C-alpha cells in the first residue's frame, strides 16, 4: 500500500512555462485535495475533488487547474508559471468528509519558478 504518491519531488520552471504535478492514491478514497505551503505559512487549499468527475475550488485556485478522471489520480496543472507559484505542493486524500475524518498526505513537490 503506497498511500499517496506525488511526482516530481522537485522542479524548476521558467516564467510562462507549464507543467502538471501528478498525484495518485491507492486507498480507494473518494476525496482528494491539493494544498500549497509557502515559507512560514500554513497549508492553503487550492482545489479539491469529492469523486471522479467532480472538482471544486479551494481558497487559492487562481493560476491552477485540476481534473479527476479516475478515483486514483488527481493531477494539478499550472498553465503559465509565475514566481508567486514558487511553493511546496501537497496532495492529500480522505475516505469521507465527515467529522474528524483524517486526511492522508503525499511527500510533496517542491516547485521553483524563475
Partner 1 sequence: GDSVTQMEGPVTLSEEAFLTINCTYTATGYPSLFWYVQYPGEGLQLLLKATKADDKGSNKGFEATYRKETTSFHLEKGSVQVSDSAVYFCALSDQNTGNQFYFGTGTSLTVIP
Q: Whose Cβ is closer to partner 1: residue 24's or residue 92's? A: 92
How far, in Å, are 31, 99, 100 from residue 110 at the CA level? 23, 30, 28
Count the alpha carbons within 13 Å of 3 in the hemisphere toward its beta carbon: 10
Nearer to partner 1, 76 or 81 (CB): 76
Give the shortest CB-42-to-partner 1 separation in angstroms. 4
Least Cβ distance, residue 107 to partner 1 (angstroms): 4
Strand partners, 57: 47
Residues binding partner 1 (CB under 8 A): 4, 6, 33, 35, 40-43, 45, 48, 58, 90, 92, 97-108
Q: Among residues 54 and 80, whose Cβ is nearest to partner 1?
A: 54
How many other β-carbons are positioned within 10 Å of the β-carbon of residue 79? 12
Of 78 and 108, CB closest to partner 1: 108
CB of 80 to partner 1, least distance (A): 27
CB neighbours of 65 closer than 8 A, spacing ≥ 6? 76, 77, 79
Amino acid at each position: 500500500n503506497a498511500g499517496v504518491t506525488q511526482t516530481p519531488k522537485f522542479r524548476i520552471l521558467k516564467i510562462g512555462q507549464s507543467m502538471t504535478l501528478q498525484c495518485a492514491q491507492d486507498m480507494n478514497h473518494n476525496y482528494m485535495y491539493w494544498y500549497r505551503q509557502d515559507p512560514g505559512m500554513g497549508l492553503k487549499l487550492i482545489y479539491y475533488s469529492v469523486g471522479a468527475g467532480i472538482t471544486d475550488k479551494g481558497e487559492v485556485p487562481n493560476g491552477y487547474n485540476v481534473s479527476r478522471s479516475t478515483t486514483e489520480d488527481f493531477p494539478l496543472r499550472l498553465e503559465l508559471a509565475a514566481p508567486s507559484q514558487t511553493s511546496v505542493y501537497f496532495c492529500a486524500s480522505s475516505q469521507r468528509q465527515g467529522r474528524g475524518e483524517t486526511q492522508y498526505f503525499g511527500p510533496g513537490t517542491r516547485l521553483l519558478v524563475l
